[in-house]
């Protein structure tokens, strides 16, 4: 897709439709999405067993893999088969070095956020996320504070990376220029993104309430709850990636794509 050089400014109500567009793309290729997500999670699980490097590698590859899911969404949107190699298409393109540079920026920014959280709770949140070590009772308040701070600091990072991989691969932007344009494209369309976020919160609450009610009715075991949640998680991941593609079409896509 050839993207615009300037972002389109949208009405806020447009953001609420991106999620339904994600569901449409999943509905067109549910088996293809499931296969690709299984491959993705299997690769991430294997990487997690590599000491230290296993923590950095997924972050380094995040922008490129995000672009891979965008490529998959575009293929489905154009009624083409979602081939698994599309997941690493960004790393096989002429912009592979720029995509890895984006990944280095992502690692740096996540590291800064983790360091800030460590100053607040002495590393309890980082240990919880990376090692699965639950914080002690006396650490709970500090972890809650550091978690809120980390979330707030991550919002501008998410804004900067929302469109950055697409702008690097599809428009040939340098990584820094792509991060800059992405941040301000999201900012200038903040109404649409707020509506999008509200829609996500509503969907998440619906799923949570539905699972709670189902658990009350049939008193499911933890393993049964996991069995129910796993396919729901896969669907929501596919919908999320499809909605990222929909937002790209709406904000940076040419007129026929945006429509």
Tokens describing residue 131: 């090692």
Average pLDDT for 11-22: 93
No. of helices (H) and no. of strands (E), the chain: 12, 0
Look at the alpha carbons of 99, 102, 104, 106 in this order and tell me if their dihedral is positive or negative.
negative
Ramachandran assignment for 2, one of left (phi > 0), alpha (psi -120 to 50 degrees), beta (any other): beta
User: Cα(20)–Cα(14) distance, rounded to whole angstroms?
Assistant: 11
Do 118 and 126 meet the contact criterion of CB atoms below 8 Å apart? Answer: yes
Q: What is the pLDDT of residue 255?
A: 60
10 Å CB burial of residue 227 (0-12, 13-18, 19+) is exposed
Tokens describing residue 185: 């494209």
Q: What is the pLDDT of residue 113?
A: 95
Percent of the chain with pLDDT over 90: 66
What is the residue-wise DSSP string for 152-200? HHHHHHHHHHHSHHHHHHHH---HHHHHHHHHHHHHHTHHHHHHHHHHH
Tokens describing residue 223: 């393993």
User: Cα(69)–Cα(18) distance, rounded to whole angstroms?
Assistant: 15
| 43 confidence band (pLDDT: 50, 70, 90) | confident
Q: What is the pLDDT of residue 197?
A: 95
Q: What is the pLDDT of residue 103?
A: 96
Question: Could you report the per-residue pLDDT of 103-155, keeping only the tens digit for each?
Answer: 999 999 999 999 999 999 888 888 888 777 788 878 888 889 999 999 999 99
Q: What is the pLDDT of residue 225?
A: 67
| 234 confidence band (pLDDT: 50, 70, 90) | confident
| 243 confidence band (pLDDT: 50, 70, 90) | very high
Question: Could you report the per-residue pLDDT of 168-215, keeping only the tens digit for each?
Answer: 999 999 999 999 999 999 999 999 999 999 999 999 898 888 777 777
| 259 confidence band (pLDDT: 50, 70, 90) | low
What residues does each domain of the chain span?
12-258
């Amino acid at each position: 897709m050839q993207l615009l050089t300037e972002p389109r400014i949208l009405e806020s109500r447009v953001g609420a439709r991106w999620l339904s567009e994600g569901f449409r793309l999943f509905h067109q290729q549910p088996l293809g999405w499931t296969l690709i997500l299984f491959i993705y999670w299997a690769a991430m699980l294997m990487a997690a067993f590599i000491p230290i490097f296993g923590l950095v590698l997924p972050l380094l590859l995040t922008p490129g893999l995000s672009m891979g899911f965008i490529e998959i969404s575009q293929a489905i949107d154009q009624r083409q088969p979602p081939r698994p190699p599309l997941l690493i298409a960004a790393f096989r393109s002429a912009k592979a070095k720029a995509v890895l540079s984006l990944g280095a920026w992502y690692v740096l920014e996540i590291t800064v956020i983790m360091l800030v959280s460590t100053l607040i709770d002495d590393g309890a949140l980082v240990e919880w996320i990376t090692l699965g070590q639950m914080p002690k009772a006396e650490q709970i308040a500090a972890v809650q504070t550091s978690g809120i701070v980390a979330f707030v600091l991550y919002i501008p990072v998410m804004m900067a990376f929302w469109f950055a991989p697409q702008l690097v691969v599809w428009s040939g932007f340098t990584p820094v220029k792509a991060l800059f344009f992405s941040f301000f494209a999201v900012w200038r369309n903040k109404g649409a993104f707020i509506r999008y976020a509200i829609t996500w919160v509503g969907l998440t609450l619906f799923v949570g309430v539905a699972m709670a009610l189902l658990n009350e009715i049939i008193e499911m075991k933890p393993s049964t709850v996991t069995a129910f949640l796993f396919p729901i998680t896969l669907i929501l991941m596919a919908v999320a990636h499809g909605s990222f593609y929909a937002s790209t079409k709406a904000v940076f896509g040419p007129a026929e794509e945006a429509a």
